[in-house]
Amino acid sequence: MKYTLRLLLALSLVGLIFFRMAVLPLKDGYQAVITHFGKPTRVVSEAGPHLHWPWPIDKVYEFDCRKRVYNTKFTQTLTKDKKSLILLTYIVWQVKDPLLFLQALGDDKNAQSKIEGLVSSSKNNILGDYYLSNLVSDDISQLKTDEIEAKILASVQKPAMEKLGIEISELAFKRIAYPENNIDAIFNQMRAERGKYAAEYRAEGRKRASIIMSNTDVEIAKINAESIKKAAEIKGDADRQAAEIYAKAHKDGAEFYKFSRSLEALEQIVNKNAVFILRSDKPPFDKLYDE
């Protein structure tokens, strides 16, 4: 009885070990290549358990086929105007053809090295057709960063897929740095661009100021003309009213008017130190005689 129990336990253990060696529990997002005596026989892409012959008959190579982000090393390159740039690029990639990936690279470490080489070579070729101002400029119309990134991506996608079994879906510059001997040139370029904008703004300001001053002068001339016209109208109206008042006063009180005018004349002629010998029966001095 003890012998039978031990045998069953041993067989169960052997069966469990065999089962573990013969079943591939493939996780979601992963794919596997199974080789039979070293020759690839099938690619497993569906998640779940999959049977195969245990090692050394079959060997299983699992690959993470989810999208991954890889940051390249800082690489130095030259622009068309011979300005040096140091670029850090990020890449989004994933394994699309596990069998080709296994045959060309074997593992992820080799994949990153190959991607680095592809991108670096493409950057050098494409950036050689662009100027520094296409990457760094205050003038938005000169910037062509998106265009450069798109060209580099397009140039590496096909060889990565056809030769490595890798799909590169995104590529962009993460950081742009400049060697020390390039900084003066960049600052001078930025100063020149800002000076250009400042000159344009000043010219526009002078133009607007001239228009405002011209409009102001016209308005002032209009106001002065209106003021002169209004003053002339008021003075004319006042003179007319005064003449009417004088005429009415002369008409309504001729004697009083003559008396008033005579007094005004005497006031202008006589002062406290004057001595006159006059006839008192003639105007305007007849007013001095008390009848």
* Residue 35 CA: distances (Å) to CA of 18, 23, 65, 163: 18, 14, 19, 20
Residue 167 and residue 98 share a domain = yes
The more confidently predicted of residues 2 and 165 is 165
Do 58 and 97 lie in one domain? The reply is no
- 27 and 104 share one domain: no
Alpha helices in the chain (DSSP H): 2-22, 98-104, 108-127, 145-164, 180-252, 254-269
Query: Are 29 and 128 in a shared domain?
Result: no
pTM of the model: 0.55
Whether residue 131 sits in one domain with residue 59: no
Residue 154 has pLDDT above 50, yes or no: yes
The answer to whether residue 31 sits within a structural domain is yes
Last residue of a domain, one of 124, 158, 178: 178
The parent domain of residue 39 ranges over 18-64
Which of residues 161 and 197 earns the better pLDDT score? 161
Residue entry with tokens 């009885």: 1
Coil, strand, or helix at residue 90? strand
Greater confidence (57 vs 61) lies with: 61
Of 140-144, 214-218, 253-257, the range with the lowest mean pLDDT is 253-257
pLDDT of residue 79 exceeding 90, the answer is: no
Same domain, yes or no: 47 and 143? no
Note whether 43 and 106 are same-domain residues. no
Average pLDDT of every residue of the chain: 78
Q: One-letter amino acid identity for 21?
A: M
Query: Into how many domains does the chain fold?
Result: 3
How do residues 202-234 score in pLDDT, each as one tens digit?
888 888 888 888 888 888 888 888 888 888 888
Residue 7 has pLDDT above 70, yes or no: no
The verdict on residue 244 lying in a domain is: no
Tell me the residue type at 182.
N
pLDDT of residue 14: 47
Q: Please check whether residues 72 and 123 belong to one and the same domain.
A: yes
Residues 140 and 39 in one domain: no
39 plus 138 within the same structural domain:
no
Q: Decide which of 9, 43, 64 is a domain's last residue.
A: 64
Better-predicted residue by pLDDT, 211 or 51: 211
Half-sphere exposure of 133 (CA within 13 A, CB side): 12
Half-sphere exposure of 202 (CA within 13 A, CB side): 6
